[in-house]
């Protein structure tokens, strides 16, 4: 995970800079300590793989034990990980470690809520590219840990023809024809019934229906009649996702899972040895 290691180094450099002046001033260099990461509220865990990267980047610790793994459901008071080493190292890494754990577990926890709401339907929930810059791999891993399905990672691994691509290509049919030569999976966004009909007539196998009400989506899915898989998007949240899932859609995508997840409450407690 080169990307994760890079972002960890950047996060540490941002926070520590030329040195943790408080720990250097207050804590003897030879002082040893142990610390424990604790869930302060129910959550779905994600981000524990980042902890070894953080400590290794600061010279390592004597012992790091990951008590739970990504995707585990934790209740308040449960241990996430324990660490033993230089007190200064534990203190200078505390905030960065918590930032990653709280953010990524927040994404996983919200993703789990979405997955739970659509349970019992055939519909799967997808994440999107609406991620924190630099954290996409970690946030998408967190979303998957919460029980939803990852959409494309970026602009490079699948084709998603959106309205601006259609305009630039000269129409739905031309955009699809131009894209076939890539050999990549092709999905096309349609926003009007004439675009829907053109897409199906052009052999589209994956449709993205954007900004429809659940009632409109159900009508359009009846028109598709199984000739393509259907994804619904556009402002879908926890309150509405069940209604969209019950339209017969194969997928619903929700940017809120990554762009609006609330950090969960995790603490770090340090004790001297």
Among candidates 245, 2, 268, 273, which has minimal Cα distance to 122?
Answer: 245
Q: Among this protein's residues, is 94 annotated catalytic?
A: no
The dihedral through the CA atoms of 16, 17, 23, 28 has a sign that is positive
Burial class of residue 217 (count of CB atoms within 10 Å of its CB; 0-12, 13-18, 19+): buried
Among candidates 145, 127, 150, which has minimal Cα distance to 73?
Answer: 145
User: Do the beta carbons of residue 79 and residue 64 sit within 8 Å?
Assistant: no
Cβ contacts of 21 within 8 Å, gap of 6 or more: none
From the candidates 40, 95, 129, 227, give the one annotated as an active-site residue: 95
Q: Among this protein's residues, is 162 annotated catalytic?
A: yes
From the candidates 40, 79, 129, 162, give the one annotated as an active-site residue: 162
DSSP codes joined into one string, 201-247: HTT--EEEEES--HHHHHHHHHHHTTSSEEEEESS--TTTHHHHHTT
Q: Among this protein's residues, is 152 annotated catalytic?
A: no
251 half-sphere exposure, CB direction, 13 A CA radius: 20
Distance separating alpha carbons of residues 36 and 19, to the nearest angstrom: 23
Q: Can you list the alpha helix ranges (DSSP code H) found in the chain?
A: 2-16, 21-26, 50-57, 87-117, 136-145, 163-169, 172-180, 193-201, 214-224, 241-245, 256-259
Q: Among this protein's residues, is 189 annotated catalytic?
A: yes
From the candidates 15, 72, 210, 237, give the one annotated as an active-site residue: 210
Q: Among this protein's residues, is 40 annotated catalytic?
A: no
Among candidates 96, 35, 39, which has minimal Cα distance to 68?
Answer: 39
From the candidates 130, 191, 227, 242, give the one annotated as an active-site residue: 130
How many CB atoms sit inside 10 A of residue 268's CB?
19
| Residues annotated as part of the active site | 95, 130, 162, 189, 210
């Amino acid at each position: 995970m080169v990307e994760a290691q890079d972002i960890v180094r950047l996060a540490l450099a941002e926070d520590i800079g030329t040195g943790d002046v408080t720990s250097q001033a207050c804590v003897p260099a030879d002082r040893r300590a142990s610390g424990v990461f604790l869930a302060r509220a129910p959550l779905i865990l994600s981000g524990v793989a980042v902890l070894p990267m953080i400590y290794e980047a600061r010279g390592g610790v004597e012992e790091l034990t990951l008590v739970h793994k990504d995707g585990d459901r934790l209740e308040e008071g449960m241990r996430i990980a324990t660490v033993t080493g230089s007190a200064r190292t534990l203190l200078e890494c505390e905030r960065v470690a918590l930032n990653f754990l709280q953010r990524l577990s927040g994404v996983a926890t919200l993703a789990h809520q979405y997955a739970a709401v659509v349970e019992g339907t055939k519909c799967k929930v997808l994440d999107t590219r609406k991620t924190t810059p630099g954290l996409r791999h970690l946030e998408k891993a967190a979303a998957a840990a919460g029980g939803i399905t990852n959409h494309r990672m970026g602009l490079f691994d699948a084709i998603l023809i959106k309205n601006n691509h259609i305009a630039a290509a000269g129409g739905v049919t031309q955009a699809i024809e131009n894209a076939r030569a890539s050999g990549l999976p092709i999905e096309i966004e349609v926003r009007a019934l004439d675009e829907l009909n053109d897409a199906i007539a052009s052999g589209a196998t994956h449709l993205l229906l954007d900004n429809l009400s659940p009632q409109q989506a159900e009508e359009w899915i009846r028109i598709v009649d199984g000739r393509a898989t259907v994804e619904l998007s556009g402002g879908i949240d926890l309150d509405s996702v069940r209604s969209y899932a019950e339209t017969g859609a194969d997928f619903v995508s929700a940017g809120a899972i990554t762009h609006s997840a609330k950090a969960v409450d995790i603490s770090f407690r340090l004790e001297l040895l």
